[in-house]
Structure 1
Amino acid sequence: MPPLLIAFFVLTAIFYTARHIKLRLKLAGINGPKGIPIFGNVFELIGEGNVGVVKALTKFRDEHGSRVVMWLGLNPYLIISNGNDIEKVLSSQQHIEKSWDYDLLVPWLGRGLLTSTGSLWHSRRKLLTPAFHFAILEDFLTIMCEQGDILVNVLETKKGSEFDIFPIITRAALDIICETAMGEKINAQRKTDSQYVKAVYRISDLIQYRQLRPWLHNDTIWSWSPSGREEIRLLKTLHNFTDSVIQKRKRMRDENGKSTWKKPAFLDLLLDHQAKNPGSLSDICIREEVDTFMFEGHDTTAANINWTLYLLGCYPKIQAKVQEEIDSVLGSGSGGKIPSGDLAKLKYLECCIKESLRIYPSVPLIGRKLAGELKLDEDTIVPPETRVMVSFFHAHRDGDVFPDPLKFKPERFEENQDKHPYAYTPFSAGPRNCIGQKFALTEEKIVLAKVLQKFKITSLQKPEDVVLLAELILRPKDGIRVRLESRE
């Protein structure tokens, strides 16, 4: 090996070793698992596949408290799960950049609202906020209700048998998001072999796989690996689909550049802006935001609908109370559109959704990159090289804030709870809170109301037997086994 190359590797090793020691000293005041040299706590996280993440982080919190420093390779991660610390991060106007981990999403989502920062993020947030105005959401109600009726028909064929409901709900959510975001019907509920649908599912798995393996973080090494080559193929499928839809929608616009579609989609709002403000948004920028909306808007809502149904299936008395409310507001029902005014009356159903998000938050963890030092208290200052992870999963299960935390008690949200405002943040909080939370809650209410109007659901697994995967979304390892019976 040439002497210059040897010198380069030696100096690089010295640099990272010195940096590592310096960070260790600065973070010495925060407890955490020891780990092993070079790899840190990697093998505790991946020892049992993605199941290991929930188990390891729960173990770390039980042993070391609501502030834990762990190491992924040579990089420190501060895991926080108490309201005071979460507030200092999420409410900050300074620490708004997402952590490095989100860069793994860039090949798919580009620099859309989720992954952008600085002036780009501010401009995109300002542009997209009107897209989630209640008047726009009203236009989406018909689509959500139509797809909810299709879901009921699909579930009708499963009635009386034991089956995994998770993928069925996920395909319904994907149908809703494709039609509302892009104006494109993909019929995921009836056409389960769609290459686009398969690509969406698979690329999320690959991103999580790469995140937990520091030796695959380098872009070149990743691109050479079998998983990296698979990701490239999947990206081609995903981007080609979105690009084709964008061009199709552009062709269907009148001479004034306005949409001629009866049901405007999220994409049309972006194309309207592009037409009115030439040069403001390229087609690539539009694809980034549509793909981001697709990614953030289907898996999260699908997870919460699934977990809510699961919990209602575990608590038949609560399920009966919800169904009594639905019947009183909507009647027995035979499909069709649910008026927004009626949705607003489903108060107890909304409490169930919120309580489900407490026990099983759709997004269990988020990460932030520190723009400077983070002062948690007088004795604890976190250096900017630290990656901060907010664990909603553990904050929401804090027994000091939520007594009997593993019990499903929707009544918690019927009362004014005396708790820290950042102890429960399923849609994040502060300047980078979820822009689509009203969209999500509307969809969840519609789909749940449609299903519960028609069926009685029985969950066939106890909560302690459900193995959790903390991937990009909180999922059950072996699905959710249920049995449906007709209410008629």
Structure 2
Amino acid sequence: MLIPVLFAAATFLSSYLYTKVTKLRYLRFAQYEHIPQLPTSLLWGHLKTLGELTKRGTNDRHPDKIFEEMWEAKGKPPIMFVDLRPVSAPMLLVTTHEVAEQVSRPSKLFPLSPTKSPTWTHMAPIIGMTSILAKEGHEWKDLRRRYTPGFTSRHLWTLLPLILEKTKPFIQHLDHFAATNQVFPIETIISNLTFDIIGAAVLYVDLNAQHLDRSQQGEVIRLLWELLRTYADDKNNLPWWLIPRVHYKRRRLGKRIDTLVRALVCQKYAEAKSQRSSSSTTKDISSIVALSFQDSDTETLLTPSKLTETSDQVRTFLFAGHDSLTSSLQWAFYELSRTPRALQAVRKELDSVLGPETDPAAICARLLSHSEDIFPKMKYINAVIKETLRLHPPASTVRMAAPGSGFTLRTSATDGQKDYLVDGLILYSCQSIIQRDPAVYGDNADKWVPERWLEKNADIPAAAWRPFERGPRNCMGQELANLESRVIIAIVARKYEFVKVGLGESVSNDVDEYGQFKVREELYNTRRVTAKPVDGTLMPVKLASPS
């Protein structure tokens, strides 16, 4: 009796294993075989290749660099399949602007462009579960409509006094470091400055972020820094079941931040309600959140769901509003420090639009009194910002083609013009590859050349520059980021000089054919939620010599 039972069990087990292996072979080798890809492993897909490439180079370099190496090994196709199962869903690496544009634009299938990828949830402790970054359909449209007034050009100009006021502690720190000749990571003071600016813009509150001593900062900022540190390694976006302790810590910190932000939102809502019912003609609508309340019925209570949603948007703006700007300003100051002709051009332009005065207080006063005349004339500075974001984009966009949706992408004629069904794939438009395309930017695509944006005959497709993404879901805060960047560069560029030490340090005073100093070792990005210079951009600062 026992032998037939064992035989039946063995038969069942063999059949079960055969079925599973057959399905696994289909998923690994057949399901997406129509898409260009590197050889894959039955058990580990492309994770094995990813791991091997990581070990060959600097192991904390940004994953985009490893994807780029995989893409080069495959011959640089316009799209490439990368199988990250079981750690993550399978991914389509998009490497040309023609295909990326199809991912971001609206269509009959996706009227608001393809949906965001569910991989965003590792950021939920930072931005909340109802963030505008995660919403879809009418919910997303409602949120976008509610917060758009706070990001219009007309409103942003009213924020200029706030931005200029927040630069004062920043300048004091630079003066201190210049006097002490101290090497410091400029990421720290830039990040603190941008936190203070976005806190004032979003809530009209002082987050007290610019103390160098973390213990002296506001509680929201201290907790945010502690939370962001949990993302500062190679476990950045692993699923929770691989990092349960880190995941628990993130959730705990996220809840504490949410509690503090909710209290601030309630305070601002009460102020808006009081102003609405007041007979005074002066209304404090200077904050982005206050503007979002203008369409609300302030006679009703702030419902729990609305409070949650508002808190999540504030947290989203705090993170996004400081993160990309912190990265891009570091790279801008670094590139200016190693490109004398560009720094000279920036200073010449500032002399022209601001006059010879380099004192920050005087510059702030002139910006306030003549802003509408001055900012449109900052053409070279705009080119510096645009080129920095091209060469060093802080992040890329991640969408999802739902299984069964029938979503198809078409490659360009130069790439064979072929249609690819991409159902069930994460769609990752890798900006660091797209924005360095030699077919678009020429032989110097890997070089920092602001002048490319000033050439009248430059044939650069609009879709080939996409650090703020494109389409309906482009970043609503891009104009605020650009305003902040111009203000900070205008105040800093003529008074101070930065010199990189360590990674990215210049070898000598000899410049290459593009007017840049050669370096001993290249400065590179690592991933801390988004892309940032690996060492925080270590630099001493000194007062610039008179022209």
Residues 12 and 355 of structure 1, relative CA distance in 2, 3 Å threshold: farther
In 2, Cα distance between equivalents of 1:38 and 1:30: 19
Does residue 395 in structure 1 map to residue 434 in structure 2? yes
- Select which of 65, 80, 84 maps to 1:68: 80
In 2, Cα distance between equivalents of 1:255 and 1:136: 19
Deviation at 1:441, TM superposition (A): 0.2
Q: TM-score, normalised by structure 2?
A: 0.79
| Superimposed CA distance per residue, residues 314-371 of structure 1 (whole angstroms, 9 cap, x where no aligned partner) | 10221011012112212314423423321222111010000111110122x2200114
| Superimposed CA distance per residue, residues 88-125 of structure 1 (whole angstroms, 9 cap, x where no aligned partner) | 11123414311111122234422221111111111111
Does residue 256 in structure 1 map to residue 276 in structure 2? yes
Deviation at 1:469, TM superposition (A): 1.0
Secondary structure of 1:400's counterpart equals helix
CA contact (8 A) 2:94 2:430 kept: yes
Q: How does 1:173-322 map to 2 (within 5 A)?
A: 173-190=194-211, 191-193=213-215, 194=217, 195-206=219-230, 212-213=237-238, 216-217=239-240, 225-253=244-272, 254=274, 256=276, 264-275=286-297, 282-322=306-346
| Alignment match, 1:103 | 121
CA contact (8 A) 1:149 1:450 kept: no
- Select which of 357, 376, 394 maps to 2:410: 376
CA contact (8 A) 1:303 1:475 kept: yes
| Alignment match, 1:349 | 381
In 1, Cα distance between equivalents of 2:93 and 2:528: 16
User: How many residue pairs get matched?
Assistant: 474
Q: Structure 2 counterpart of 1:179, which letter? A: A
Q: Which runs of 5+ in 1 are unaligned?
A: 1-6
Residues 207 and 109 of structure 1, relative CA distance in 2, 3 Å threshold: farther
In 2, Cα distance between equivalents of 1:400 and 1:205: 38
Q: Structure 2 counterpart of 1:61, which letter? A: W
Residues 52 and 430 of structure 1, relative CA distance in 2, 3 Å threshold: closer
In 1, Cα distance between equivalents of 2:20 and 2:479: 47
Moved more, 192-201 or 41-50: 41-50
Moved more, 38-47 or 181-190: 38-47
Residues 217 and 166 of structure 1, relative CA distance in 2, 3 Å threshold: same
Q: Structure 2 counterpart of 1:59, which letter? A: E
CA contact (8 A) 2:101 2:463 kept: yes
Deviation at 1:52, TM superposition (A): 5.5
| Superimposed CA distance per residue, residues 19-57 of structure 1 (whole angstroms, 9 cap, x where no aligned partner) | 772574242232223343443333526656542513311
Cα root mean square deviation, aligned: 2.9
In 1, Cα distance between equivalents of 2:263 and 2:19: 50
| Alignment match, 2:514 | none
Identify which of structures 1 and 2 has the higher relative contact order when contacts are C-alpha pairs closer than 8 Å and 6+ apart.
1
Q: Which runs of 5+ in 2 are unaligned?
A: 1-11, 412-416, 506-518
Q: TM-score, normalised by structure 1?
A: 0.88
In 2, Cα distance between equivalents of 1:150 and 1:158: 12
Residues 82 and 124 of structure 1, relative CA distance in 2, 3 Å threshold: same
Does residue 33 in structure 1 map to residue 51 in structure 2? no
Deviation at 1:17, TM superposition (A): 6.6
Q: Structure 2 counterpart of 1:139, which letter? A: T
Does residue 413 in structure 1 map to residue 453 in structure 2? yes
Q: Structure 2 counterpart of 1:69, which letter? A: F
In 1, Cα distance between equivalents of 2:524 and 2:339: 19
Residues 366 and 24 of structure 1, relative CA distance in 2, 3 Å threshold: farther
Moved more, 235-244 or 274-283: 274-283
Secondary structure of 2:541's counterpart equals strand
In 2, Cα distance between equivalents of 1:88 and 1:262: 42
Q: Which has the larger radius of gyration?
A: 2
In 1, Cα distance between equivalents of 2:105 and 2:63: 26
Deviation at 1:270, TM superposition (A): 2.2
In 2, Cα distance between equivalents of 1:41 and 1:115: 27
| Superimposed CA distance per residue, residues 253-307 of structure 1 (whole angstroms, 9 cap, x where no aligned partner) | 4263579775721121123333359589711111121111111111111111111
Q: Structure 1 counterpart of 2:32, which letter? A: L
Residues 163 and 256 of structure 1, relative CA distance in 2, 3 Å threshold: closer
Moved more, 309-318 or 474-483: 474-483
| Alignment match, 1:172 | 193
| Superimposed CA distance per residue, residues 379-420 of structure 1 (whole angstroms, 9 cap, x where no aligned partner) | 442331011100001111122221212222111111242133
Does residue 135 in structure 1 map to residue 135 in structure 2? no
In 1, Cα distance between equivalents of 2:287 and 2:21: 49
Residues 400 and 470 of structure 1, relative CA distance in 2, 3 Å threshold: farther
Q: Structure 2 counterpart of 1:185, which letter? A: D
